[in-house]
Amino acid sequence: MTYNEVINRMGALGDALQLPLPAKAMSATLLMRTHYAKGIKEWQTICEQLHKDIPQKDDESEDDYMARINEVATEKSKEETTLADRRYTPEVFEQICGAATDKGEMQSSVHVGLDDKGKPTAAKVPAWMWLEYIAANLVQEE
């Protein structure tokens, strides 16, 4: 599992907290967030190290410097983490489906749109679209 996958999973698990989940689904979500938070902490350490290892040049603008850092970070985000691949059971996914379907749409951090300033932001999507991501990335295969 890559750091990018961990980041996206944490986003999707955070999205799930918008829902009035039954106890079992809430418990599973919080336990997985605790697990994947370890990968986020590793990722933050990597990013901090990048800033130490790649100094800003004297004649370089802040935007150019951040673009250089982001380019390296993008490549690093494809590296494998040390985390186990944890997923919802089909039973818990069914509970999440019920709650998401009742809500109708989700503010989804894995489906990104642009805000009024052109910056990436979580997008509102139909519940089925968000659930499709969850099914493909966070549910155990039967």
pTM score, whole prediction: 0.86
Could you give the C-alpha distances from 62 to 51, 65, 67, 73, in angstroms and in order? Answer: 12, 5, 9, 16
Give 57's contacts (C-beta < 8 A, 6+ positions apart): 65
Average pLDDT on 45-54 reads 92
Give yes or no for residue 58 having a pLDDT over 80.
Answer: yes
Task: Look at 114 and 54; give whichever has higher pLDDT.
Answer: 54
pLDDT 10s digits, 64-100 = 999 999 999 999 999 999 999 999 999 999 999 999 9
pLDDT 10s digits, 102-126 = 999 999 998 877 777 877 778 899 9
Give 40's contacts (C-beta < 8 A, 6+ positions apart): 6, 7, 10
Q: What is the pLDDT of residue 142?
A: 75
pLDDT 10s digits, 5-44 = 999 999 999 999 999 999 999 999 999 999 999 999 999 9
Distance (Å, rounded) from C-alpha 69 to C-alpha 60? 12
Q: Where are the domains of the chain?
A: 3-138
Decide: 80 and 1 in contact? Cβ < 8 Å. yes
